Structure 1
Amino acid sequence: MATSNVKQIHDFGQSIWLDFIDREIISSGKLKKLIDEDGVRGVTSNPAIFEKAISSSSDYDADVKELGANAETTEKLFFELAVKDIQAACDIFDSVYNEGVVGADGYVSLEVSPFLALDTEGTIKQAEELWNKVDRKNVMIKIPGTKPGLQAIRETIAKGINVNVTLLFGLERYEAVTEAYISGLEDHLAAGHKIAHISSVASFFLSRIDVVVDPLLEEKGEKELVGEVAVASAKKAYEIYKRVFSTERWKKLEEQGAKPQRLLWASTGSKNPAFKDTKYVEALIGPDTVDTVPLETIDAFRDHGVAANTLEQGLDKATETLAKLKELGIDLDAITQQLEDEGIEKFNKPFEKLLKAIEDQKNKA
């Protein structure tokens, strides 16, 4: 049997994680099949994914009734439901976690409440609660990379908790996230703890950047740059990654077993029908990175995706693309801040809808 196109991506040092979870994919054996046949090496979830899973399925009804009797709030009831799914997925990925270099992969991500995106102390508290509830070494707690999130990331890492930093759009904020991670490791080490078990990824969102920038480029008659800005930003982020994780400061931590905080490409489904549906996967394949991919994009890549070492190709072009934006008067920093604000709202809305659906289900006779 020929190696899956998806599995071939691993030949270039990139891990593919699935950006989806529900009880059916876990219980049916589909998730295990994705590991075995496509080499999928982790799972990410978010409020929108759980909203779809719980609202469109009866798989959660019995638990809603049983756990709802004692849950203090609907939000706490949601996390009881989610934690069961995350634990089950973590157990499936345990063999991946323990394969080769222990802790290199096999992670399942669970996000703190989106209502906490701008609440440092609330995020730290809930991140620790969720970490303890899931009680699996291969869970990652997702924390948004907002300004208030930076201190939360540092303090959560300093507690020895794996963190998936989500909602990153801009290069300056990404570099600040690497600083939070490194400082958190230093804090944990200074407190007398080992750091080799701690893992983190920084999730850099792609297609949403192009959704906002492309119409501005078209207005200015710069059609050759359409669909290029997100990939250019990601390539520049990888340059930052290589620089930050090769400093003398980092090497001291590495000597203590520290793992670099890998870049993770998120929002990789093409939102523009004019683009190839595997565009954002094919353009950014390279070593020591992760790509979290929706199920339909995995299916598309399995069918017609091309795996090649593309991440460090065209770096000069990436630099020129971002420079050209400045020349055109397009403020990418303002756009990435807008995307962060909208991203918080995009997770709040499905979370509110999810809580209402759970509440309605709980109140059924």
Structure 2
Amino acid sequence: MTKLHALAALGQSIWYDNIHRSLVESSGLAALIEAGIRGVTSNPSIFEKAIVGSTDYDAAIRALAARGMGAAQIAETLMVEDIQRAADLLRPVYEESAGDDGYVSLEVSPALAHDTPGTIAEALRLWRAVDRPNLMIKVPATPAGIAAITALIRQGVSVNVTLIFGLGAYRAVAEAYIAGLAQWLAAGGSARQVASVASFFVSRIDSAVDALLEVRGARHLQGTIAIACAKVAYRTMQEIFSSPRWSTLEREGARAQRLLWASTSTKNPAYPDTLYVDALIGGRTVNTLPPATLEAFWDHGTVAPTLSQGLDAAYEQLAALAALGIDLEAVEKQLQEEGVAAFARSFDALLAKVAAKSAQLAPGACGA
């Protein structure tokens, strides 16, 4: 029994925030699943690093380019293949958990973050392309993305809502899920077919707020705000998914949307490297860990139900932040904009580098 199994006993699932071809083609992911990993998440930055940072994909790129595919089609084909392999490896977890876990997430193009119809169309296309029941399509929690969530859920598509940085966005995401699920059930859809997680990004909140606190000389609050936000979000989740409105859907077999803690690697080296794992343990949640954070938690992380502790202190810390004149909503909006832009840059870089690799690996090219 590993620490990951101990977390599962407390109601928290650990997903792996990483994917690459050698991981899914070797015994790597299978070994992680055996050790307690219960899902996989991906994003454009992860795929950029995987595809252009190794030679694992060279043969596939050469073959796809020879078939006349452009960079965008090649990149999507490679990503879909990796997602399918990971989903197949996680299928036993999906079956054993009756669809609670065992998911792999694939993100729509960041270029569509402010395009509701485009997001819906691309999500449905990717859903069909991967063709696995344990796929989650990642959609950003922008206003356009939130509108798309309801449309996708009501069509039976499981959704991982990403780039949530604040309580207002989280409430809107939960409402979008519930509205879509109610429509799906009213149309005769199977309640257990649909699942969703709301990915709340934590470490980036501290990175942004700590700088503002430094200017105001309030160092005692540094490193506390992200966890305070998470604790309040967790309390909000408990309220939303125990309400009379939700209970009506639950009686029909509906599955509650879980909070997922994302951006859990510690950005400030002065903070413990397991800060955003140890402090965010609670039932009906997911934490997605990149490789270094997972290794650190295995080595010296602490398993204890911490999310339900210190809620009063969390409210006090957020009140103190407001008293200092720091507009948390403005910070959250800025972080979301920066997150969308960062993923867009990674996606563009991926396409550019795949195009360059295609040319380099083409028959007759120098070095091919």
Query: What is the TM-score when the length of structure 1 is the normalising length?
Result: 0.97
1:24 is aligned to 22
How big is the shift at 1:70?
4.4
Q: 1:97, 1:4 → 2: CA distance?
A: 20
Amino acid at match of 1:120: T
Whether 1:43 and 2:54 are equivalent positions in the alignment is: no
**What secondary structure does 1:164 align onto?**
strand
2:93 is aligned with 1:91: no
Question: Residues 171-196 of structure 1: CA distance to partner in whole angstroms, max 9, x if unpaired?
Answer: 00100000100010111122222222
Instruction: Find the counterpart in structure 2 of residue 267 from structure 1.
Output: 263
Report what 2:49 is aligned to: 52
Q: For the residues of structure 2 that align with 1:194 and 1:248, how far apart are their CA atoms? A: 21
Residue 108 in structure 1 maps to residue 81 in structure 2: no
Number of the residue aligned with 1:4: 2
Structure 1 residue 73, shift from structure 2 partner? 4.2
Q: Deviations over 1:140-182 (max 9, x none)?
A: 0000010111111110111100100000001001000001000
Residue 77 (structure 1) shift: 2.1
- Pick from 312, 315, 322 the counterpart of residue 318 of structure 2: 322
Aligned length: 361
Equivalent AA in structure 2 for residue 51 of structure 1: E
Name the amino acid aligned to 2:4.
V
Q: Does 1:81 align with 2:78?
A: yes
1:182-232, CA deviations, whole angstroms, 9 ceiling, x for partnerless residues?
010111122222222100000000000000101211222222211000000
What RMSD over aligned residues (CA atoms) do the two structures have, in Å?
A: 1.1
Q: Separation in 1 of the partners of 2:67 and 2:165?
A: 39
- CA gap of 1:361–1:257, structure 2 versus 1, over 3 A, is same
SS in 2 for 1:196: helix
8 Å CA contact retained: 2:70, 2:355: no
Of the structure 1 ranges 212-221 and 71-80, higher mean CA displacement relative to structure 2 is found in 71-80
Shift of 1:8: 2.0
Q: Choose the corresponding residue for 2:205, options 202, 209, 224.
A: 209
1-structure distance, mates of 2:37, 2:319: 36
User: 1:69 Cα deviation (Å)?
Assistant: 4.0
* 8 Å Cα contact 1:157/1:181 also seen in 2: yes
| Residues 285, 308 of structure 1: 8 Å contact kept | yes
TM-score (norm: length of structure 2)? 0.96
Q: Deviations over 1:71-91 (max 9, x none)?
A: 664223211110000000000
Structure 1, unmatched stretches of 5+, are: none
Report the Cα distance in structure 2 between the residues aligned to 1:219 and 1:11, rounded to whole angstroms: 42
Rounded Cα–Cα distance in structure 1 between residues aligned with 2:22 and 2:351: 20
Matches within 5 A, 1:269-348: 269-348=265-344
Q: Read off the aligned partner of 2:78 and give its amino acid letter.
A: L
Pair 1:152-2:111 in alignment? no
**Separation in 2, partners of 1:44, 1:5:** 20
| Partner residue in 2 for 1:254 | 250
1:266 and 1:292 in contact (8 A); partners too: yes
In the alignment, which residue of structure 2 is the partner of 1:349? 345
For 2:67 and 2:176, how far apart are their aligned partners in 1? Answer: 37
Q: Distance in 2 between matches of 1:340 and 1:147?
A: 11
Q: Deviations over 1:320-347 (max 9, x none)?
A: 0111111000000000000000001110
Between the aligned partners of 1:167 and 1:111, the Cα distance in structure 2 is 11
- Once residues 175 and 143 of structure 1 are traced to their aligned partners in structure 2, the CA distance between those partners, rounded to angstroms, is 15
Contact kept in structure 2, 1:97 and 1:105, CA below 8 Å: yes
